[in-house]
Structure formats: structure tokens, C-alpha cells
Amino acid sequence: MSLELPDNFLHYMLQDDDAYKVTVIKSINRMEKLFGPIKYKFAKGNTSAQIITRLNKERSGQTQDSQSVVSFESEFDCLVMLDRQIDLISPFCVQQVYEG
């Protein structure tokens, strides 16, 4: 997701701006609405742990509001989030970066 946000690295690493967390949370919520709730969520690093915690709090708030509960089974078993501070290079190791 962060490869699609052109200024994300600049704001996060150089300007210490954490507004991108809202974008990541909205993206994961949108995926869960389309494909069902993700059963297992794992985080490596402080920032990703904060995002997972916020997602779980929103999930518990939604279950109390019976209007927005998703009833179908998820197409995803788990979500693994890695901080840029933990692994900076892996998100750039995709075929879109290299010549095929």
C-alpha cells in the first residue's frame, strides 16, 4: 500500500508525520468489507502494532453496533504487517521496480 502513496516515505521518515496510519486503517477496513474480516493479524514493530490495536478497537466497537457486522467468511486467513523501521527494502522488491 505504501508504494502507491508517493510522499509516504518522506512524511513518515523525515517529517515524523503519522497521518498515513489513517489511510492504512481505512484501506484494511475497505478490504475487510469486500473480502470478509481477517481472522489473524500479526504486527512486527511499534507502528504496525499501533495500527493493529486501532483496528481491533474499531472491530470491538463495530460488534457492539449490530448494524455493521460482516457475516460471510473471509477470503484472507491472516494479515502480517512489517514496519519500515524493521524492514526497509522488502516493499521495493517487486517486479514493478525491476525490468521484467
| pLDDT at res. 41 | 92
> Is position 99 within any domain?
no
| pLDDT at res. 21 | 82
Which residue from 97, 91, 85, 83 is spatially nearest to 21, judged by alpha carbons?
Answer: 83
The answer to whether the CB of 23 falls within 8 A of the CB of 49 is: no
> Is position 97 within any domain?
no
> Is position 100 within any domain?
no
> Is position 45 within any domain?
yes
Print pLDDT tens along the chain (100 aa). 455 667 766 776 677 777 778 888 888 999 888 898 888 999 988 888 999 999 988 888 765 554 554 556 788 889 988 887 787 777 667 666 555 4
Global model pTM greater than 0.85:
no
When divided into structural domains, the chain yields a total of 1
Q: For the chain, how big is the Rg over CA atoms in Å?
A: 15
| pLDDT at res. 98 | 55
Which domain CATH number covers 8?
Answer: 3.40.50.1910
> Is position 66 within any domain?
yes
> Is position 48 within any domain?
yes
**C-alpha 34, offset from chain centre:** 15
